[in-house]
């Protein structure tokens, strides 16, 4: 069953491909940030990186070793141990490589202030992936299943997809990784863990989940009750305080991410790499939400935002949210209307004679055209008349003259000529629908509930793995 929360790696591919392409082709702030990170990392070898434990406390600093070059190096004698997960070692080389991968794929500019955040996130991700792979190997052995862990061919397929979305051949994509100082094996290990774990969660737990009709009906009733309230199209990043070492660390990390996104880091890539919400795999896309669906603190922040604005960090009970308001629509049963037009361009100071000549042409179009299906063809036969699709809009967002016509006309009808400062227009109404109708689709609601439940199960499974594991940082 498809879900909005736990899905394939397609969104991950898109975000990574976009960021890699941006780093490669645009000499802007993100590329400069990657260059700065390479310089900072070249000055400090993996062995000198100060590891932090999973509670956010710094561990003892490792011995100083020779500086690491920008290109990936073979593992050598200068390596030391960054962490041990159930007797499996994460080396300082692994940690440094994962940091470079995060930098290349998140679009966040590394600075002296953000490098500790990259280090913490890299270490947490590596620990989680080690735990996932250990669990999958154990399940494979107990159940005698050989397909739980992704094969080399499956990883190759994901790499090829990433390369294709960056408009590169796989060999060129690998060279681009190496150019950022990233050993391709680092990416392969991350992809293998992601493919395997998501497949296990979907297959083992997803097959047991059932969304009841009463659950869907309850959501529909709640959404209908909220139809009179504003609705928000939202992207989200959630920093889990328990995961990063407490509320202070979560707040500090969120503030740094907000600053980086204000400077141009792409929200979807940041969400994929740093968010603990179930929407992370989709680039943080939470879709349309109504008041009450998110924590009260987030609802209050959304009320103050305008479309296109990014929020400040929003502390909640167990972490910190960052939300980006993509769009907003009024409640109260607003109406969306799809329009086409035929128009004659006229300056505001056009003579009355020019206006009347244009009116005659448009009246001819109006009386000949039968609606949206042929208005463009009919207009094309009249010299000086242009036609086109205006798309879908909220009626209340239209200009007063257009709004009046859109409200009064039925689907398929054409308006009388309307004078504006740009010219003379005839509108054709192609469709009308309630702005909240899409929110009441039962299948979409079912998929959303399924995804939320599966995401909760995945987080609980990881929490249990961490709780029963022996994790030691150095």
110 in any annotated domain: yes
Do 320 and 361 lie in one domain? The reply is no
Is 405 within a domain?
yes
Chain-centroid distance, C-alpha 225: 28
Helix (H, G, I), strand (E, B) or coil at 267: helix
What strands lie across the sheet with 386-394, from one edge to the other? 386-394, 335-345, 423-434, 418-419
CB-based contacts of 31, cutoff 8 Å, min separation 6: 22, 23
Judge contact between 166 and 21, C-beta under 8 A.
Answer: yes
Domain assignment of residue 468, yes or no: no
Task: Please check whether residues 275 and 368 belong to one and the same domain.
Answer: no
Alpha-helical (H) ranges within 44-147 are 92-106, 115-143
DSSP letter string, 29-57: HHHHHHHHHHHHHHHS-GGGS--B-TTS-
| 254-299 residue pLDDT tens | 999 999 899 888 999 899 889 988 788 788 999 888 887 889 999 9
Average pLDDT over residues 248-256: 92
Please report which confidence band the pLDDT of residue 188 belongs to, taking 50, 70 and 90 as the band edges: very high
CATH number at 309 reads 3.10.50.40
| pLDDT score of 92 more than 80 | yes
Rounded mean pLDDT, 175-183: 91
Query: Across all residues in the chain, what is the average pLDDT?
Result: 80
Total structural domains in the chain?
A: 3
The more confident residue out of 474 and 430 is 430
In this predicted structure, what is the pLDDT of residue 272?
Answer: 86
Residue at a domain's end among 208, 242, 261: 208
Do residue 288 and residue 305 come from a single domain?
yes
Q: Distance between CA 73 and CA 81 in Å, rounded?
A: 17
- Rounded Cα distance between 390 and 64, Å, is 64
**Do 321 and 232 fall into the same domain?**
yes
293 and 346 inside one domain: no
Residue that is last in its domain, among 402, 418, 434 = 434
pLDDT reading at 55 higher than 70: no
Dihedral sign from CA coordinates of 54, 314, 236, 266? negative
Q: Are residues 86 and 185 located together in one domain of the fold?
A: yes
Percentage of the chain lying above the pLDDT 90 cut: 42
Handedness of CA 114, 325, 280, 188 (dihedral sign): negative
Looking at the structure, tell me whether residues 308 and 361 fall in a common domain.
Answer: no
**Average pLDDT estimate for 307-333:** 88
Residue 352 lies in a domain: yes
Instruction: Tell which residue, 150, 196, 182, 177, has the closest CA to residue 41.
Output: 182
Domain contains 220: no
Do 26 and 120 sit in the same domain of this protein? yes
pLDDT class of 442 with cuts at 50, 70, 90: confident
> Which pLDDT value is given to residue 215?
85
Same structural domain, 185 and 100 = yes
Q: Is the pLDDT of residue 53 over 60?
A: no
Give SS3 for 308: coil
pLDDT at 436: 55
Structure tokens at 384: 């000086």
Mean pLDDT over residues 176-201, rounded?
92
Residue 325 · residue 234 · CB < 8 Å: yes
Domain range enclosing 268: 228-332
Domain assignment present for residue 446? The answer is: no
Could you give the CA distance from residue 102 to residue 438 in angstroms, rounded to a whole number?
36
Structure tokens at 186: 């680092």
d(CA 139, CA 191): 19
Query: Is 339 a residue whose pLDDT tops 80?
Result: yes
Rounded mean pLDDT, 28-47: 34
Mean pLDDT of 61-83: 52
Does residue 52 sit within a domain?
yes
Q: What pLDDT, on the 0 to 100 scale, is given for residue 440?
A: 55
∠ CA(148), CA(123), CA(312), 5° rounding? 110
Closest CA to 270 of 33, 27, 455, 3: 33
Per-residue pLDDT at 26: 30
Give the lowest-confidence range in 63-67, 114-118, 203-207, 396-400: 63-67
Same domain, 80 and 191: yes
| C-alpha angle 346-350-353 in degrees, rounded to nearest 5 | 105
Domain end call among 332, 358, 390? 332
Report the candidate in 333, 320, 315, 308 with the shortest Cα–Cα distance to residue 233.
Answer: 308
Asked whether residue 465 is domain-assigned, the answer is no
């Amino acid at each position: 069953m498809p879900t909005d929360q736990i899905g394939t790696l397609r969104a991950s591919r898109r975000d990574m491909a976009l960021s890699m392409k941006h780093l490669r082709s645009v000499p802007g702030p993100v590329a400069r940030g990657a260059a700065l990170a390479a310089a900072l990392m070249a000055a400090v070898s993996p062995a000198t990186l100060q590891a932090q434990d999973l509670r956010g406390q710094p561990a003892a600093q490792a011995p100083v070793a020779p500086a690491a070059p920008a290109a990936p190096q073979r593992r050598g004698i200068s390596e030391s141990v960054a962490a041990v997960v159930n007797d499996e070692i994460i080396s300082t080389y692994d940690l440094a490589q994962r940091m470079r991968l995060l930098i290349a794929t998140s679009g966040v500019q590394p600075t002296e202030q953000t490098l500790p955040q990259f280090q913490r996130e890299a270490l947490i991700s590596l620990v989680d992936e080690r735990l996932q792979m250990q669990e999958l190997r154990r399940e494979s052995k107990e159940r005698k299943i050989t397909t739980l862990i992704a094969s080399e061919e499956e990883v190759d397929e994901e790499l090829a997809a990433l390369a294709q979305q960056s408009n590169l051949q796989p060999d060129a994509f690998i060279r681009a990784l190496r150019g950022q100082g990233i050993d391709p094996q680092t990416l392969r290990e991350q992809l293998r863990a992601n493919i395997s774990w998501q497949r296990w969660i979907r297959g083992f737990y997803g097959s047991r989940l059932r969304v009841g009709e009463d659950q869907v009906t309850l959501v529909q009733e709640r959404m209908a009750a909220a139809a009179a309230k504003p609705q928000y199209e939202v992207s989200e990043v959630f920093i889990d305080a328990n995961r990063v070492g407490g509320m202070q660390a979560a707040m500090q990390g969120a503030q740094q991410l907000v600053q980086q996104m204000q400077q141009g880091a792409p929200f979807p890539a940041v969400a994929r790499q740093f968010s603990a919400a179930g929407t992370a795999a989709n680039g943080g896309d939470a879709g349309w939400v109504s008041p009450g669906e998110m924590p009260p603190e987030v609802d209050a922040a959304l009320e103050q935002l305008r479309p296109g604005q990014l929020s400040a960090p929003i502390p909640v009970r167990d972490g910190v949210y960052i939300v980006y308001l993509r769009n907003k629509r009024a409640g109260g049963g607003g109406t969306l209307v799809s329009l086409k037009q035929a128009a004659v361009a006229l300056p505001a100071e056009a003579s009355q004679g020019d206006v009347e000549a244009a009116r005659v042409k448009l009246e001819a179009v109006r009386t000949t055209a039968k609606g949206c299906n042929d208005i463009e063809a009919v207009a094309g036969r009249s010299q000086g008349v242009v036609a086109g699709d205006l798309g879908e809009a909220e009626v209340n967002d239209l200009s007063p003259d257009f709004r009046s016509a859109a409200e009064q006309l039925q689907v398929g009808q054409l308006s009388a000529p309307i004078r504006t400062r740009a010219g003379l227009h005839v509108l054709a109404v192609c469709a009308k629908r309630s702005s909240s109708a899409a929110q009441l689709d039962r299948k979409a609601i079912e998929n959303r509930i399924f995804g939320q439940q599966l995401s909760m199960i995945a987080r609980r499974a990881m929490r249990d793995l961490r709780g029963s594991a022996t994790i030691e940082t150095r």
